[in-house]
């Protein structure tokens, strides 16, 4: 049975360049603006990945304007970790960092083991297939937790 949507969700991964922006964009597309949705990374050392942009565009999710940010950059940009109802970590490193940063908060932190598709294949078609698999896995996790898309 689907859970009610939280008021705010933060998706996180290692660089905020592949998985977490995909999850942020897909959640916004699936469930509209009733939930405040953001994403961050352990590091902010990469720009949004072009393959992520391409495979999300296939399902009507716009990522080209995404600007990567780290956990440490959230506060200065107006987001306090303690204000999120739920943090969804998509990598082991981001899960550990989210748990560490939210000690003492009532924020729920969950881990969805989503593999990093970057560098997994040699040809363009194989890389696109790997990114599509990640996109579809994120979508599956979203619908398992919150039900079919409403927006």
Domain residues for the domain of 128 are 8-146
Asked if the structure places residue 72 within a domain, the reply is yes
Element (H, E) at 25: helix 19-31
Asked if the structure places residue 44 within a domain, the reply is yes
Asked if the structure places residue 3 within a domain, the reply is no
| CB 127 within 8 Å of CB 108 | no
How many domains does the chain divide into? 1
- Residue 151's pLDDT band (boundaries 50, 70, 90)? confident
Q: What is the pLDDT of residue 1?
A: 78
Distance CA 51, CA 131 (A): 7
Asked if the structure places residue 151 within a domain, the reply is no
- Residue 84's pLDDT band (boundaries 50, 70, 90)? very high
CATH code at position 69: 3.40.50.2300
The HSE-up count of residue 150 (CA atoms within 13 Å, CB side) is 11
Asked if the structure places residue 2 within a domain, the reply is no
Asked if the structure places residue 1 within a domain, the reply is no
Q: Tens digit of pLDDT for each residue in 25-70?
A: 999 999 998 999 999 999 988 899 999 999 999 999 999 999 999 9
Q: What is the pLDDT of residue 50?
A: 95
Asked if the structure places residue 22 within a domain, the reply is yes
């Amino acid at each position: 049975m689907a859970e009610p949507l939280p008021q705010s969700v933060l998706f996180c991964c290692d660089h905020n360049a592949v998985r977490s922006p995909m999850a942020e964009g897909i959640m916004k597309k699936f469930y509209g603006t009733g939930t405040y949705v953001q994403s961050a990374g352990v590091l902010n050392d990469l720009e949004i990945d072009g393959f992520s942009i391409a495979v999300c565009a296939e399902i009507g999710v716009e990522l080209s304007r995404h600007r990567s940010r780290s956990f440490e950059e959230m506060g200065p940009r107006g987001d306090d970790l303690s204000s999120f109802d739920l943090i969804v970590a998509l990598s082991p490193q981001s899960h550990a960092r989210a748990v560490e940063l939210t000690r003492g908060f009532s924020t729920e932190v969950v881990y969805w083991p989503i593999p990093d598709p970057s560098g997994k294949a040699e040809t363009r078609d194989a890389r696109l297939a790997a990114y599509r698999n990640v996109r579809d896995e994120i979508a599956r996790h979203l619908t398992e937790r919150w039900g079919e898309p409403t927006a």
